[in-house]
Amino acid sequence: MSRRRPRMQCPECGSHYTQSVPLAHSQSIRTGYNGNQTISEFGQALEPPEPRSEFLVPLIIAIFLFGVLFFFLPTEISWIGTGWVQDVITSLWGRVGISGGLAVAFLIFLSGGAIAHNTTAYAEDMDEWECTVICRRCGKQFHR
């Protein structure tokens, strides 16, 4: 005699027509004859949480920061009065070194924050998403 697992009952409408959110999401994805995938509006509402970009977005921000610092550093720090500091700031290699150093430090900071988020908060969000059930009758989402 096989034992069937009892189905979850919706707390909103009382229906037993429930399904796990990951399964409902995967069933809403269709693959066409040419390999293109489409997803229904229902499936788009059930998308899993997205992890933060650990490298690409921080890299773009760091490159932008490098450019801004490289071009505006000499004019914005012109209030520093010593001659040798002004010579370093206005020289090409000085601007590259200062701008590059700050951009790399910012890249490390942003990447570290994204990695920390993905290993803690994102992992918790994924666990919660995987344990969520949806009522296919009324659309109410609830946890097991």
pLDDT tens profile 3-47: 555 567 888 888 888 988 999 888 888 777 777 778 888 888 888
Tell me the domain boundaries of the chain. Answer: 56-121
Average pLDDT, the chain: 85
User: Cα angle at 26 between 25 and 27, to 5 degrees?
Assistant: 90
Q: Is the pLDDT of residue 68 over 50?
A: yes
Residue percentage of the chain with pLDDT more than 90? 41
The verdict on pTM exceeding 0.75 is no
With left for phi above 0 and alpha for psi between -120 and 50, is residue 14 left, alpha or beta? left
φ, ψ dihedrals at 5, nearest 5°: -75, 130
Q: What is the pLDDT of residue 119?
A: 94
* CB 122, CB 130: distance < 8 Å: no
pLDDT for residue 79: 65
